[in-house]
Structure 1
């Protein structure tokens, strides 16, 4: 049965996966800047127009930081993976799908907050942003789960397979935090949800996984 399973699910190296993923990350961060536009203003009112666009700047910083952290996490994860199978491919595609979406809710969020930080549109916007980011965390959970189930086939030989299982906790934290932020933003305060959106990339930056390596002196 094991041999049959292996033949039905061919393993490939990570080169093409990483190259394609890097391309998606690069496009995503490039699209983010397109929402930063010169404000409409009359003579002498440029400064006021620029200040009024503060949600666009905050959204850009938060989302750019998030994509950068995604790239760092992706790089660390795939440095510990030697082969990918269909399950890892699908999980990675889900991750790229949600990453490519980030510029859309970022633009919606910034425009809604410019029109009013406590408006109905702002509440809808934070729910949209929270839902997409929670879905991204779910794709990370799926990716780490796929590798942790078959570390002997997929992970580098010197990598402690428990490291992949441990990273699932970080993904679960993200799912809970973003869903909670979405609920808080809708029923209470969109500004609190926005604060969570800014803090979460910092959390993931500080906790970027260094996948544990086995001591080479032990056999």
Structure 2
């Protein structure tokens, strides 16, 4: 059940939270490219140097796609929010905090793969999985808050939307933990495969797991009047 906010002065239009978040996402996605550097090779070996940096390109592409998906999910969620309060701001800041960490494990994975040391690769993959699980946990907290604060949502938003979205975030926590364990205990590349698949899952479901079926919406329309 929704409960009214005790201090209405803590509420604000959601547009300010959206604008601030968009700026943070833009900075994060820019920082990712800083790990791509000109290879330090002797003259005549530029091509081989560029090819040897393939892990950096893959890591950049994967994390860029992940941040893009996070932005799409963030936009889809706030499209359903009419007002923000202090609790929602903190939940949103938690999402931004965990997303802002992505450039660091991205650089670690890229460096470890290029150094060809399997022990470091295992640690780097496990660390990336830890950050990924933290990011999904932040979304879990975000969705849980909105599931309990229906007074912040637009009237047309289904009561089932955000409660169902918690399952989507929980799946990410579980799969990232599994990817970290697999990458650390079995094979680093196996964990990396899960890292690539998960953003695809969240991209496909960026509009949410729960959507009111078209037939159900049509059923709500009044029947046409007879002749």
Same fold (TM over 0.5): yes
TM-score (norm 1): 0.92
Q: Which residue of 1 aligns with 2:122?
A: 123
What residue ranges of structure 1 are gaps of 5+ in the alignment?
none
Q: CA deviation at 1:7?
A: 2.3
Residue 132 (1) aligns with residue 131 (2): yes
Q: Detail structure 1 runs of 4+ shifted over 3 Å in the superposition.
A: 210-218
CA offsets per residue over residues 55-75 of structure 1, 9 Å max, x none?
Answer: 100000000000000010000
Q: Which residue of 2 aligns with 1:68?
A: 68
CA contact (8 A) 1:159 1:212 kept: no
Q: CA deviation at 1:198?
A: 1.2
Q: Which residue of 2 aligns with 1:84?
A: 84
Q: Which residue of 1 aligns with 2:224?
A: none
CA contact (8 A) 1:134 1:179 kept: yes
Q: Which residue of 1 aligns with 2:142?
A: 143
CA–CA distance in structure 1, aligned partners of residues 120 and 41 of structure 2: 23
| Greater Rg by CA | 2
CA–CA distance in structure 1, aligned partners of residues 9 and 121 of structure 2: 45
Q: CA deviation at 1:46?
A: 1.4
Q: Which residue of 2 aligns with 1:155?
A: 153
CA offsets per residue over residues 52-108 of structure 1, 9 Å max, x none?
Answer: 111100000000000000010000000001112222111111100011111111011
CA–CA distance in structure 2, aligned partners of residues 89 and 52 of structure 1: 43
CA contact (8 A) 1:155 1:161 kept: no
Q: Which residue of 2 aligns with 1:42?
A: 42
Q: How many residues align?
A: 215
Q: CA deviation at 1:16?
A: 1.0
What residue ranges of structure 2 are gaps of 5+ in the alignment?
222-227
TM-score (norm 2): 0.88
Q: Which residue of 1 aligns with 2:99?
A: 99
Q: Which residue of 2 aligns with 1:171?
A: 169
CA–CA distance in structure 2, aligned partners of residues 18 and 215 of structure 1: 29
Compared CA separation, residues 57 and 163, structure 1 to 2 (3 A): same
Secondary structure in 2 aligned to 1:72?
helix
CA contact (8 A) 1:67 1:99 kept: yes
CA–CA distance in structure 2, aligned partners of residues 122 and 31 of structure 1: 22
Q: CA deviation at 1:209?
A: 1.9
Secondary structure in 2 aligned to 1:6?
coil
